[in-house]
Amino acid sequence: MAWIISKYALTALVVVLVSELAKRSDKLGGLVAALPLVTILSLIWLYLEHQSAEKIANHAWYTFWYVVPTLPMFLVFPLLLPRWGFWPTLLSCAVISSVCFGLFALLVKRFGVDLL
């Protein structure tokens, strides 16, 4: 149980760190948020929990493919935010990301990458 609590605490600390940095510096907060910190922590947790190398490699492989269709959201969000406000923009970006993901999954399936 202590292990799970430690995992939650460290992972939460990363999220809090990013949000606190973003308050102080847009650029630094964006840089740290763009780092794959959650993925790195996930890979560490999988390794420390004695998951197979194949399982860890698959996690990294699929993370790459799942990140690509989320990128348009980061371009649309700053454009919509001043016009629509925070919550409608966030919801719209979630929908945009979902649509992009679906279309991207169909596209890469033609090349042998099965995301769904």
Report d(CA 3, CA 70) in Å as an integer: 31
Tokens of 99: 């649509």
User: What is residue 85's predicted lDDT score, i.e. its pLDDT?
Assistant: 98
35 pLDDT more than 90: no
97 pLDDT more than 90: yes
Return the sign of the alpha-carbon dihedral for residues 46, 69, 36, 87: negative
Per-residue pLDDT reduced to its tens digit, 37-95: 889 989 999 999 999 999 999 999 999 999 999 999 999 999 999 999 999 999 999 99
Confidence of residue 11 (pLDDT cuts 50, 70, 90): confident
Cβ 77 vs Cβ 94: under 8 Å: no
User: What is residue 69's predicted lDDT score, i.e. its pLDDT?
Assistant: 94
62: nearest Cα among 43, 82, 90: 43
DSSP line for 60-106: HHHHHHHHGGGHHHHHHHHHHHHHH-HHHHHHHHHHHHHHHHHHHHH
